[in-house]
Amino acid sequence: MGYPSLRMRRWRRTQHLRDLVSEVRLELSNLVYPIFVDEGADSVTPIASMPGISRFPISRVAEEARDAVEKGVRAVLLFGVPYLKDEVGSGAFLTDGVIQKAIRKLKREFGDEVVVMADVCLCEYTSHGHCGVIKGSEVVNDLTLSVLQKVAVSQAEAGVDVVAPSAMMDGQVKAIREALDDSGHDQTAILSYSAKYASGFYSCFREAARCAPKQGDRRGYQMDYRNAREALREMELDLEEGADAIMVKPALAYLDIIRLARDRLNAPIAAYNVSGEYAMVKAAAQNGWVDEKAAALEILTGIKRAGADIIITYFAKDVKRWMETE
Protein backbone atom coordinates (compact mmCIF):
# COMPACT_ATOMS: atom_id res chain seq x y z
CA MET A 1 0.00 0.00 0.00
CA GLY A 2 1.36 3.39 -0.92
CA TYR A 3 0.23 6.86 -1.80
CA PRO A 4 -2.53 8.05 -2.00
CA SER A 5 -3.93 5.85 0.80
CA LEU A 6 -0.65 6.13 2.70
CA ARG A 7 0.06 9.67 3.77
CA MET A 8 3.00 10.47 6.06
CA ARG A 9 1.63 13.93 6.75
CA ARG A 10 -1.30 12.67 8.87
CA TRP A 11 0.86 12.56 12.01
CA ARG A 12 2.22 16.03 11.33
CA ARG A 13 -1.09 17.86 11.17
CA THR A 14 -1.24 19.29 14.73
CA GLN A 15 1.20 19.80 17.58
CA HIS A 16 -0.41 17.11 19.72
CA LEU A 17 -0.38 14.58 16.90
CA ARG A 18 3.30 15.32 16.39
CA ASP A 19 3.99 14.99 20.11
CA LEU A 20 2.33 11.57 20.21
CA VAL A 21 4.81 10.14 17.75
CA SER A 22 7.93 12.06 18.68
CA GLU A 23 10.86 9.67 18.98
CA VAL A 24 13.06 11.70 21.29
CA ARG A 25 12.46 14.53 23.64
CA LEU A 26 15.03 16.79 25.18
CA GLU A 27 14.85 16.66 28.99
CA LEU A 28 16.29 19.16 31.42
CA SER A 29 17.58 16.22 33.44
CA ASN A 30 19.97 15.38 30.57
CA LEU A 31 21.75 18.71 30.68
CA VAL A 32 25.03 19.77 32.24
CA TYR A 33 25.93 23.43 32.61
CA PRO A 34 29.65 24.35 32.45
CA ILE A 35 30.86 26.99 34.92
CA PHE A 36 34.22 28.78 34.80
CA VAL A 37 35.61 29.56 38.22
CA ASP A 38 38.23 32.30 38.26
CA GLU A 39 40.49 32.44 41.29
CA GLY A 40 41.91 35.85 40.44
CA ALA A 41 38.65 37.64 39.69
CA ASP A 42 36.73 39.74 42.16
CA SER A 43 33.74 40.23 39.92
CA VAL A 44 31.78 38.31 37.31
CA THR A 45 33.56 38.74 33.97
CA PRO A 46 31.66 38.11 30.74
CA ILE A 47 33.50 36.14 28.04
CA ALA A 48 33.37 38.19 24.85
CA SER A 49 33.19 35.28 22.41
CA MET A 50 30.52 33.48 24.43
CA PRO A 51 27.67 35.93 25.05
CA GLY A 52 25.77 34.95 28.19
CA ILE A 53 28.71 33.03 29.69
CA SER A 54 31.07 34.47 32.31
CA ARG A 55 33.95 33.65 34.58
CA PHE A 56 32.87 33.60 38.21
CA PRO A 57 34.86 34.38 41.34
CA ILE A 58 34.68 31.56 43.89
CA SER A 59 32.39 33.73 46.00
CA ARG A 60 29.79 33.86 43.20
CA VAL A 61 29.79 30.23 42.06
CA ALA A 62 26.98 29.06 44.35
CA GLU A 63 24.80 31.91 43.14
CA GLU A 64 25.36 30.86 39.52
CA ALA A 65 24.60 27.24 40.35
CA ARG A 66 21.42 28.41 42.13
CA ASP A 67 20.38 30.22 38.97
CA ALA A 68 20.93 27.02 36.96
CA VAL A 69 18.86 25.02 39.47
CA GLU A 70 16.05 27.56 39.21
CA LYS A 71 16.18 27.02 35.47
CA GLY A 72 15.77 23.28 35.90
CA VAL A 73 19.40 22.22 35.48
CA ARG A 74 20.73 19.76 38.04
CA ALA A 75 24.32 19.17 36.97
CA VAL A 76 27.29 21.48 36.57
CA LEU A 77 30.76 20.93 35.15
CA LEU A 78 33.42 23.08 36.77
CA PHE A 79 36.52 24.49 35.13
CA GLY A 80 39.12 26.27 37.22
CA VAL A 81 41.10 29.29 36.12
CA PRO A 82 43.90 29.53 38.70
CA TYR A 83 45.60 32.70 39.87
CA LEU A 84 49.04 31.22 39.26
CA LYS A 85 50.20 28.73 36.66
CA ASP A 86 53.39 26.66 36.68
CA GLU A 87 55.23 24.06 34.60
CA VAL A 88 53.45 21.02 36.04
CA GLY A 89 50.06 22.54 36.77
CA SER A 90 50.28 22.08 40.53
CA GLY A 91 47.36 24.48 41.06
CA ALA A 92 45.15 21.68 39.79
CA PHE A 93 45.64 19.47 42.86
CA LEU A 94 45.97 21.87 45.80
CA THR A 95 43.65 21.16 48.72
CA ASP A 96 42.57 24.78 48.59
CA GLY A 97 42.94 25.25 44.84
CA VAL A 98 40.30 27.13 42.92
CA ILE A 99 38.37 24.07 41.80
CA GLN A 100 38.57 22.31 45.17
CA LYS A 101 37.19 25.41 46.88
CA ALA A 102 34.39 25.69 44.35
CA ILE A 103 33.47 22.01 44.74
CA ARG A 104 33.36 22.35 48.56
CA LYS A 105 31.20 25.42 48.30
CA LEU A 106 28.69 23.79 46.01
CA LYS A 107 28.52 20.58 48.01
CA ARG A 108 28.08 22.50 51.25
CA GLU A 109 25.33 24.59 49.71
CA PHE A 110 23.48 22.00 47.64
CA GLY A 111 24.40 18.52 48.88
CA ASP A 112 22.89 16.02 46.48
CA GLU A 113 20.57 18.58 44.89
CA VAL A 114 23.24 19.36 42.31
CA VAL A 115 25.53 16.90 40.57
CA VAL A 116 28.98 18.42 40.66
CA MET A 117 31.40 17.39 37.94
CA ALA A 118 34.92 18.70 37.44
CA ASP A 119 37.32 18.68 34.54
CA VAL A 120 40.52 16.75 35.23
CA CYS A 121 43.15 18.30 33.00
CA LEU A 122 46.25 20.42 33.35
CA CYS A 123 45.98 22.93 30.52
CA GLU A 124 44.26 25.60 32.62
CA TYR A 125 46.99 25.24 35.25
CA THR A 126 50.21 24.92 33.24
CA SER A 127 52.28 27.93 32.19
CA HIS A 128 52.75 26.37 28.73
CA GLY A 129 49.07 25.59 28.28
CA HIS A 130 49.42 21.91 27.41
CA CYS A 131 47.24 19.24 29.00
CA GLY A 132 50.19 17.34 30.46
CA VAL A 133 53.71 17.63 31.77
CA ILE A 134 56.19 18.59 29.04
CA LYS A 135 59.80 17.74 28.33
CA GLY A 136 61.14 19.78 25.46
CA SER A 137 58.29 19.84 23.01
CA GLU A 138 56.83 16.50 24.10
CA VAL A 139 53.80 16.10 26.34
CA VAL A 140 54.94 13.14 28.41
CA ASN A 141 52.18 10.63 28.93
CA ASP A 142 53.34 8.59 31.89
CA LEU A 143 54.63 11.52 33.93
CA THR A 144 51.26 13.19 33.46
CA LEU A 145 49.31 10.24 34.84
CA SER A 146 50.53 10.68 38.40
CA VAL A 147 49.58 14.36 38.30
CA LEU A 148 46.11 13.55 36.99
CA GLN A 149 45.73 11.05 39.83
CA LYS A 150 46.44 13.80 42.35
CA VAL A 151 43.98 16.12 40.66
CA ALA A 152 41.19 13.55 40.72
CA VAL A 153 41.84 12.57 44.35
CA SER A 154 41.92 16.21 45.47
CA GLN A 155 38.59 16.82 43.74
CA ALA A 156 37.11 13.68 45.27
CA GLU A 157 38.29 14.81 48.69
CA ALA A 158 36.47 18.09 48.12
CA GLY A 159 33.32 16.09 47.42
CA VAL A 160 32.96 16.04 43.65
CA ASP A 161 30.41 13.53 42.32
CA VAL A 162 31.99 12.94 38.93
CA VAL A 163 35.53 13.52 37.67
CA ALA A 164 35.90 14.14 33.96
CA PRO A 165 39.41 13.47 32.69
CA SER A 166 40.03 15.38 29.47
CA ALA A 167 43.79 15.31 29.01
CA MET A 168 43.68 12.46 26.45
CA MET A 169 46.63 10.65 28.03
CA ASP A 170 46.78 6.89 27.48
CA GLY A 171 45.89 4.98 30.62
CA GLN A 172 44.44 7.99 32.43
CA VAL A 173 41.16 6.32 33.33
CA LYS A 174 42.88 3.27 34.82
CA ALA A 175 45.32 5.47 36.75
CA ILE A 176 42.54 7.68 38.10
CA ARG A 177 40.27 4.75 39.04
CA GLU A 178 43.11 3.13 40.97
CA ALA A 179 44.00 6.35 42.77
CA LEU A 180 40.37 7.04 43.67
CA ASP A 181 39.83 3.51 44.99
CA ASP A 182 43.09 3.51 46.94
CA SER A 183 42.11 6.75 48.65
CA GLY A 184 38.66 5.51 49.63
CA HIS A 185 36.68 7.24 46.89
CA ASP A 186 35.14 4.22 45.25
CA GLN A 187 31.84 6.06 44.77
CA THR A 188 33.33 8.88 42.72
CA ALA A 189 32.34 8.31 39.10
CA ILE A 190 34.53 8.83 36.04
CA LEU A 191 33.09 10.45 32.95
CA SER A 192 35.90 10.13 30.47
CA TYR A 193 36.38 12.48 27.55
CA SER A 194 37.21 9.36 25.54
CA ALA A 195 36.72 10.58 22.00
CA LYS A 196 38.04 14.10 22.28
CA TYR A 197 39.10 15.49 18.95
CA ALA A 198 41.71 18.14 18.21
CA SER A 199 39.18 20.74 17.17
CA GLY A 200 38.89 24.26 15.87
CA PHE A 201 35.78 24.64 17.99
CA TYR A 202 37.56 25.05 21.36
CA SER A 203 38.92 28.55 20.72
CA CYS A 204 36.32 30.41 22.80
CA PHE A 205 36.82 28.04 25.72
CA ARG A 206 40.53 28.74 25.56
CA GLU A 207 39.79 32.43 25.85
CA ALA A 208 37.43 31.72 28.75
CA ALA A 209 39.81 29.41 30.62
CA ARG A 210 43.00 31.13 29.42
CA CYS A 211 44.45 27.80 28.39
CA ALA A 212 45.60 28.02 24.78
CA PRO A 213 48.93 26.24 24.31
CA LYS A 214 51.78 28.78 24.08
CA GLN A 215 53.53 26.61 21.54
CA GLY A 216 52.37 23.91 19.18
CA ASP A 217 48.89 22.42 19.31
CA ARG A 218 47.11 19.44 20.85
CA ARG A 219 47.18 17.10 17.87
CA GLY A 220 49.82 14.92 19.50
CA TYR A 221 47.28 13.76 22.09
CA GLN A 222 43.77 14.74 21.00
CA MET A 223 42.19 12.74 18.19
CA ASP A 224 42.40 13.29 14.46
CA TYR A 225 38.98 14.29 13.13
CA ARG A 226 39.34 11.97 10.16
CA ASN A 227 38.93 8.92 12.39
CA ALA A 228 35.85 7.09 13.63
CA ARG A 229 37.07 3.54 14.25
CA GLU A 230 39.80 4.96 16.44
CA ALA A 231 37.15 6.76 18.51
CA LEU A 232 35.33 3.51 19.10
CA ARG A 233 38.59 1.95 20.25
CA GLU A 234 39.28 4.87 22.62
CA MET A 235 35.82 4.49 24.12
CA GLU A 236 36.11 0.70 24.47
CA LEU A 237 39.50 1.05 26.14
CA ASP A 238 38.19 3.64 28.59
CA LEU A 239 35.32 1.35 29.56
CA GLU A 240 37.77 -1.50 30.09
CA GLU A 241 39.87 0.83 32.25
CA GLY A 242 36.84 1.57 34.40
CA ALA A 243 35.12 4.62 32.97
CA ASP A 244 31.51 4.93 34.18
CA ALA A 245 30.52 6.97 31.15
CA ILE A 246 32.20 8.08 27.96
CA MET A 247 32.13 11.36 26.10
CA VAL A 248 32.25 12.48 22.51
CA LYS A 249 33.54 16.00 21.99
CA PRO A 250 32.77 18.22 20.13
CA ALA A 251 29.23 17.14 19.31
CA LEU A 252 28.06 18.70 16.07
CA ALA A 253 30.65 17.52 13.58
CA TYR A 254 30.70 14.17 15.43
CA LEU A 255 27.09 13.00 15.51
CA ASP A 256 28.19 9.85 13.68
CA ILE A 257 30.59 9.08 16.53
CA ILE A 258 27.80 9.49 19.09
CA ARG A 259 25.62 7.13 17.06
CA LEU A 260 28.46 4.63 16.72
CA ALA A 261 28.94 4.65 20.48
CA ARG A 262 25.18 4.24 21.06
CA ASP A 263 24.95 1.27 18.71
CA ARG A 264 28.08 -0.51 19.89
CA LEU A 265 28.52 0.29 23.60
CA ASN A 266 26.24 -0.02 26.59
CA ALA A 267 27.57 2.72 28.84
CA PRO A 268 26.02 6.15 29.33
CA ILE A 269 27.18 8.50 26.59
CA ALA A 270 27.82 12.19 27.01
CA ALA A 271 28.26 14.72 24.23
CA TYR A 272 29.87 18.11 24.67
CA ASN A 273 28.28 20.89 22.64
CA VAL A 274 31.45 22.96 22.84
CA SER A 275 32.23 26.65 23.02
CA GLY A 276 32.71 27.25 19.28
CA GLU A 277 29.42 25.53 18.52
CA TYR A 278 27.71 27.81 21.03
CA ALA A 279 29.47 30.89 19.67
CA MET A 280 28.38 30.16 16.09
CA VAL A 281 24.73 30.12 17.04
CA LYS A 282 25.08 33.22 19.23
CA ALA A 283 26.92 35.20 16.56
CA ALA A 284 24.48 34.28 13.82
CA ALA A 285 21.54 35.04 16.12
CA GLN A 286 22.97 38.43 17.07
CA ASN A 287 23.12 39.27 13.37
CA GLY A 288 19.54 38.15 12.91
CA TRP A 289 20.66 35.34 10.60
CA VAL A 290 19.24 32.46 12.63
CA ASP A 291 16.68 32.25 15.39
CA GLU A 292 18.64 31.33 18.50
CA LYS A 293 15.98 29.29 20.22
CA ALA A 294 15.03 27.34 17.10
CA ALA A 295 18.64 26.63 16.17
CA ALA A 296 19.73 25.68 19.68
CA LEU A 297 16.77 23.36 20.39
CA GLU A 298 17.28 21.67 17.03
CA ILE A 299 20.97 21.14 17.73
CA LEU A 300 20.44 19.82 21.26
CA THR A 301 17.62 17.52 20.19
CA GLY A 302 19.76 16.30 17.29
CA ILE A 303 22.55 15.42 19.71
CA LYS A 304 20.06 13.45 21.79
CA ARG A 305 18.61 11.74 18.71
CA ALA A 306 22.16 10.74 17.68
CA GLY A 307 22.30 8.80 20.95
CA ALA A 308 23.66 10.99 23.73
CA ASP A 309 22.25 10.58 27.25
CA ILE A 310 24.10 13.49 28.82
CA ILE A 311 24.47 16.79 26.97
CA ILE A 312 26.96 19.36 28.19
CA THR A 313 25.93 22.75 26.87
CA TYR A 314 26.34 26.47 27.47
CA PHE A 315 22.67 26.80 26.49
CA ALA A 316 21.60 24.75 29.52
CA LYS A 317 20.02 27.66 31.42
CA ASP A 318 17.93 28.71 28.41
CA VAL A 319 16.31 25.39 27.63
CA LYS A 320 13.51 25.43 30.23
CA ARG A 321 12.28 28.83 29.13
CA TRP A 322 12.47 27.80 25.48
CA MET A 323 10.60 24.56 26.07
CA GLU A 324 7.86 26.35 27.98
CA THR A 325 7.24 28.74 25.10
CA GLU A 326 7.62 26.25 22.29
- Asked about 249 being catalytic, the answer comes back as yes
* Options 60, 275, 313, 317; binder of ligand PBG; rule CB under 6 A: 275
φ, ψ at 23 (rounded to 5°): -85, -30
Asked whether position 121 contacts ligand PBG by CB under 6 A, the answer is yes
Measured at the alpha carbon of residue 165, what is the angle toward residues 159 and 167, in degrees to the nearest 5?
Answer: 140
- The Cα–Cα gap between 157 and 263 comes to 36
Check binding of 123 to ligand PBG (CB under 6 A): yes
- Catalytic residue, chosen from 85, 101, 105, 196, is 196
125 near ligand PBG (CB under 6 A): no
In the window 66-85, what residues touch ligand PBG (CB under 6 A)? Answer: none
115 vs 123 by CB, closer to ligand PBG? 123
DSSP per-residue codes, 132-165 = S-EETTEE-HHHHHHHHHHHHHHHHHHT-SEEEE
Is-contact 132 140, C-beta < 8 A? Answer: yes
Nearer to ligand PBG, 109 or 207 (CB): 207
Q: Which stretch binds ligand PBG (CB under 6 A): 25-33, 92-100, 103-111, 118-126?
A: 118-126
**CA-CA distance, 169 to 11, in Å (whole number)?**
49
Residue 89's nearest CA partner among 129, 118, 122 is 122
- 101 given a catalytic annotation: no
Q: How far is the CB of 107 from ligand PBG (least distance, A)?
A: 21
Among 166, 172, 194, 313, binds ligand PBG (CB under 6 A): 166
> Is the alpha carbon torsion for 314, 317, 318, 319 positive or negative?
positive
Say whether residue 33 binds ligand PBG (CB under 6 A).
no
* Stretch binding ligand PBG (CB under 6 A), from 7-15, 115-123, 255-263, 289-297: 115-123
Dihedral of alpha carbons 281, 19, 33, 211, sign: negative
- C-alpha torsion angle, residues 185, 189, 191, 194 (rounded to 10): 60
Least separation in angstroms between CB 14 and ligand PBG:
38
Residues recognised as catalytic = 196, 249
Residue ranges in contact with ligand PBG by CB under 6 A: 119, 121, 123, 131, 166, 202, 205-206, 218, 274-275
